[in-house]
């Protein structure tokens, strides 16, 4: 009998080696996971943000798969994803480490300084123009001192409606720099994606006096830091001095 | 009126007159049948318009940059002249206000605007406005900078285009560069901005609403 069981196990192993068992993942699920991985690899990873043991907020998280993977594969401590209007349905909260919400208003209910990293793959889609400055300011408040943000933002494309589409129909690279710096961020790195020739000609007509680089940019990826405020440094120094005594 | 207040008033009047002369040189029409002047309290735009563009049927509307309510605008105007009004508040507020201006224009009508762009000087010059936008947003660089819409000139032109206007002429683009020593000393911080965009303070724009005049 023992021999039969051993033989049976050997045959099963051989069969699984030659004919691997079909997993229950649907091919569409595989594709969705691949897309999430591609977003991370193409948009965020080039800036090398720190993920391990980080509390991460993803604004405009689409289906939440990237936020989930940051916890399961990236060793993030927690991930919160917000996608306005998306029905996440029941999902695995990964023992409370993953939170997904379909309402931007959830950002106003969180405490200040609870995230180490904020990701946004498409700011001008996730955040409406109405309240843009306030929401960027809120993202700043949600970050801990030294926290990072990696945002993709679109720049003005001709033919669109005001308030919609890339850059809300008006934002330029310098306008984005001004807006994020007004929110308190420091820009530590940026990357620009150039327009195609067809769009470029239309933009050149509308912005003839702008510099070629300002006109040529279709989208930007911004790597921002939430700096230590002087009063926070002073409080930290005072605490350290107290501890030494 | 104290001497300081009179000097401030005279200065304001000179600025408004200079703006109007600039807008007239760009093609703001002198023969517009119906004009609307939208100005901030204490401005002298009406007098400047009369002097530079001559007399015509004129309405005025006042807009407090620090207030919360936009003025109700009458419609069907061939010319709207404005200074110091468009670029106040959030970007969404400014877009909405511009939309109201476009609605108030008759087809073929003209908007002649003096706009304070992102890098326009504050109480202590333009350098601190550009270098420390967060302080500007907190009101530490004066009330005017606090409420200023943070749009550089290219974004303004994009906004006007997206609002349905065709820009006919501009003046002031890249004509107010920061001092060389500021550019050198703060080069890493200023690298976030395009050089031509932060070399523009006040932008004069004449733009037309599509359509045949009635």
The Cα of A229 is separated from the nearest Cα of chain B by a number of Å equal to 12
- State the DSSP string of B138-188: TTTT-HHHHHB----HHHHHHHHHHTT-EEEEEE-TT-SPPPHHHHHHTHH
Q: What is the pLDDT of residue B74?
A: 86
What is the C-alpha to C-alpha distance for residues A101 and B126, in angstroms, rounded to an integer?
42
Give me the residue from A167, A181, A209 closest to B170, CB to CB: A209
- ipTM of the prediction: 0.93
B4 Cβ contact partners less than 8 Å away, ≥ 6 residues apart: none
Asked if pLDDT for residue A25 goes beyond 70, the answer is: no
Q: Which residues pair with B122 in a beta bridge?
A: B125
Please give the residue of chain B at the shortest CA–CA distance from A140.
B134
The tens digit of pLDDT for each residue in B149-174 reads 999 999 999 999 999 999 999 999 99
Give me the residue from B95, B174, B198 closest to A163, CB to CB: B95
Q: What is the pLDDT of residue B62?
A: 83
Taking contacts as CB-CB distances below 8 angstroms, the residues of chain B near A169 are 158-159, 162
pLDDT class of A23 with cuts at 50, 70, 90: very low
A187 interfaces chain B, CB cutoff of 8 Å? yes
Q: What is the pLDDT of residue B40?
A: 83
Helix (H, G, I), strand (E, B) or coil at A21: coil
The Cα of B43 is separated from the nearest Cα of chain A by a number of Å equal to 28
Q: What is the pLDDT of residue A2?
A: 63
Say yes or no: domain B3-208 is CATH 2.60.40: no
B94 interfaces chain A, CB cutoff of 8 Å? no
The tens digit of pLDDT for each residue in B58-102 reads 888 888 777 656 777 888 999 999 998 888 999 999 999 999 999
B193 interfaces chain A, CB cutoff of 8 Å? yes
Domain housing A145: 2-244
Asked if pLDDT for residue A9 goes beyond 80, the answer is: no
Give me the residue from B90, B151, B162 closest to A169, CB to CB: B162
Q: State the pairing for strand pair A186-194/A143-154.
A: unpaired
Phi, psi of A155 (to 5 degrees): -115, 155
What is the C-alpha to C-alpha distance for residues B79 and B24, in angstroms, rounded to an integer?
12
Lookup: tokens for A24: 């229950």
Task: Work out the average pLDDT over B185-201.
Answer: 93
In whole angstroms, how far apart are CA A228 and each of A108, A185, A234? 22, 10, 10
Query: CB atoms < 10 A from the CB of A244, how many?
Result: 6
Asked if pLDDT for residue A24 goes beyond 60, the answer is: no
Using left for φ > 0, alpha for ψ between -120 and 50, and beta otherwise, residue A93 falls in alpha
pTM (two decimals)? 0.90
Yes or no, beta carbons of A184 and B90 under 8 Å apart: no
The Cα of A210 is separated from the nearest Cα of chain B by a number of Å equal to 6
Asked if pLDDT for residue B135 goes beyond 70, the answer is: yes
Yes or no, beta carbons of A162 and B137 under 8 Å apart: no
B197 interfaces chain A, CB cutoff of 8 Å? yes
Instruction: Output B194 or A3, whichever has higher pLDDT.
Output: B194
Taking contacts as CB-CB distances below 8 angstroms, the residues of chain B near A175 are 118, 150-152, 154-155
Asked if pLDDT for residue B212 goes beyond 50, the answer is: yes
Of A92, A90, A146, A139, residue with least CA distance to A118: A139
What is the C-alpha to C-alpha distance for residues B214 and B210, in angstroms, rounded to an integer?
12
What is the C-alpha to C-alpha distance for residues B111 and B126, in angstroms, rounded to an integer?
26
Phi, psi of A2 (to 5 degrees): -60, -45
What is the C-alpha to C-alpha distance for residues B62 and B82, in angstroms, rounded to an integer?
10
Asked if pLDDT for residue A135 goes beyond 90, the answer is: yes
- Residues 144-183 on A with a CB inside 8 Å of B are 156, 158, 160-163, 167-175, 177-179, 181-183
Contact (Cβ atoms closer than 8 angstroms) between residue B208 and residue B166: yes
Give me the residue from A162, A170, A213 closest to B155, CB to CB: A170
Of B145, B73, B84, B143, residue with least CA distance to B116: B84
Residue showing tokens 């005025």: B60
Helix (H, G, I), strand (E, B) or coil at B105: strand
CATH number reported for the structural domain that contains residue A36 in this entry? 3.40.50.150
The tens digit of pLDDT for each residue in A171-195 reads 999 999 999 999 999 999 999 999 9
Buried b (16+ CB within 10 A) or exposed e, A50-86: ebeebbbbbbbbbbbbbbbbbbeebebebbbbbbeeb
pLDDT class of A28 with cuts at 50, 70, 90: confident
**How many domains does chain A divide into?**
1
B177 interfaces chain A, CB cutoff of 8 Å? no
Give me the residue from A131, A170, A215 closest to B159, CB to CB: A170
The Cα of B5 is separated from the nearest Cα of chain A by a number of Å equal to 32
Lookup: tokens for B117: 């762009």
Lookup: tokens for A229: 């405020």
A175 Cβ contact partners less than 8 Å away, ≥ 6 residues apart: A167, B118, B150, B151, B152, B154, B155
Yes or no, beta carbons of A181 and B118 under 8 Å apart: no
The Cα of A178 is separated from the nearest Cα of chain B by a number of Å equal to 6
A:B CB pairs within 8 Å: 117
Residue showing tokens 């589409």: A165
A139 interfaces chain B, CB cutoff of 8 Å? no
The tens digit of pLDDT for each residue in A227-236 reads 999 888 898 8
The tens digit of pLDDT for each residue in A32-61 reads 889 999 999 999 999 999 999 999 999 999
The tens digit of pLDDT for each residue in B2-45 reads 777 777 777 778 888 889 999 999 999 998 889 999 988 878 88
The Cα of A127 is separated from the nearest Cα of chain B by a number of Å equal to 12
What is the C-alpha to C-alpha distance for residues A48 and A223, in angstroms, rounded to an integer?
9
Taking contacts as CB-CB distances below 8 angstroms, the residues of chain A near B162 are 156, 160-162, 169-170
The Cα of A130 is separated from the nearest Cα of chain B by a number of Å equal to 5
């Amino acid at each position: 009998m023992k021999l039969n069981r051993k033989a049976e196990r050997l045959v099963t192993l051989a069969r699984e080696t030659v004919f691997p068992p079909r997993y229950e993942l649907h091919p569409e699920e595989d594709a969705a996971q691949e897309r999430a991985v591609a977003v991370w690899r193409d948009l965020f990873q080039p800036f090398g943000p720190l993920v391990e043991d980080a509390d991460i907020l993803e604004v405009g998280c689409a289906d939440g798969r990237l936020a989930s993977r940051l916890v399961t594969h990236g060793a993030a401590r927690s991930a919160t994803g917000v996608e306005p209007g998306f029905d996440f349905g029941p999902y695995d909260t990964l023992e409370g480490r993953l939170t997904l919400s379909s309402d931007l208003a959830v950002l106003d209910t969180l405490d200040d300084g609870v995230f180490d990293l904020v990701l946004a793959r498409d700011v001008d889609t996730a955040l409406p123009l109405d309240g843009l400055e306030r929401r960027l300011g809120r993202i700043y408040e949600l970050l801990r001192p030294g926290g990072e943000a990696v945002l993709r933002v679109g720049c003005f494309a001709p033919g669109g409606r005001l308030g919609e589409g890339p850059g809300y129909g008006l934002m330029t690279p310098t306008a984005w720099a001004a807006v994020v710096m007004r929110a308190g961020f420091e820009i530590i790195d940026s990357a620009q994606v150039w327009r195609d020739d067809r769009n470029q000609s239309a933009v050149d007509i509308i912005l003839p006096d702008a510099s070629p680089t300002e006109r040529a940019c279709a989208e930007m990826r911004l790597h921002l830091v939430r700096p230590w405020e002087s009063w926070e440094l002073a409080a930290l120094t005072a605490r350290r001095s107290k501890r030494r005594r | 009126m104290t001497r300081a207040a009179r000097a401030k008033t005279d200065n304001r009047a000179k600025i408004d007159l200079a703006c109007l002369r600039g807008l007239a040189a760009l093609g703001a029409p002198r023969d517009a049948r119906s004009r609307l002047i939208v100005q901030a309290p204490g401005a002298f735009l009406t007098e400047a318009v009369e002097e530079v563009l001559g007399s015509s049927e004129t309405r005025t509307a006042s807009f407090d940059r620090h207030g919360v309510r936009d003025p109700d605008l009458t419609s069907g105007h061939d010319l709207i002249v404005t200074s110091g009004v468009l670029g106040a508040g959030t970007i969404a507020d400014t877009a909405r206000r511009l939309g109201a201006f476009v609605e108030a224009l008759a087809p073929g009508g003209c908007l002649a605007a003096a706009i304070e762009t992102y890098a326009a000087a504050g109480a202590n010059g333009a350098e601190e406005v550009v270098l420390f936008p967060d302080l500007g947003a907190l009101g530490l660089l004066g009330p005017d900078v606090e409420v200023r819409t943070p749009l550089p000139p290219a974004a303004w032109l994009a906004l006007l285009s997206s609002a349905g206007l065709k820009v006919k002429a501009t003046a002031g683009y890249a004509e107010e560069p920061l001092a060389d020593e500021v550019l050198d000393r703060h080069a890493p911080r200023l690298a976030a901005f395009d050089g031509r965009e932060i070399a523009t303070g006040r932008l004069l724009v004449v733009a037309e609403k599509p359509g045949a005049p009635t």
